[in-house]
Amino acid sequence: MVALIKATTASLVTCLKVFLASSELLASPWTFDHEELMLMMLYNTGTRLGLIHELRLMQCYLMPDEIALRELSESVIAKLKLMTDEQFAEVEFPLD
């Protein structure tokens, strides 16, 4: 019974890894909403890691009551951390 549970768990872990490793399912560029894209445009340095760095610096200057901007920037940072540099290069920013 224990061997069956271990085998099933190992199989589920393998399936999960394959699912998360899929480049199309892992933080695709279209997962950013309009507000996130606008924030990214404001602080974009041209690289994914540079953008993460600039957003972290911006957060240092936020006042305690600027909760919405902090949450928005945290959401962007979390998604950027899941992306590869190649996926970041494919992000299309709105022109409006």
Per-residue pLDDT of 25-38, as tens digits, reads: 454 546 899 999 99
Q: How far apart are CA 52 and CA 72, in angstroms?
A: 13
* CA dihedral sign of residues 49, 53, 56, 61: negative
Q: What's the Cα-to-Cα distance from 28 to each of 10, 11, 75, 79, 91, rounded to whole Å?
A: 27, 26, 14, 9, 8
Per residue in 31-86, pLDDT (tens digit) is 899 999 999 999 999 999 999 999 999 999 999 999 999 999 999 999 999 999 99
* One-letter amino acid for residue 44 of the chain: N
Global pTM reads: 0.68
Q: What is the pLDDT of residue 19?
A: 59
Question: Which of 8 and 46 is assigned the larger pLDDT?
Answer: 46
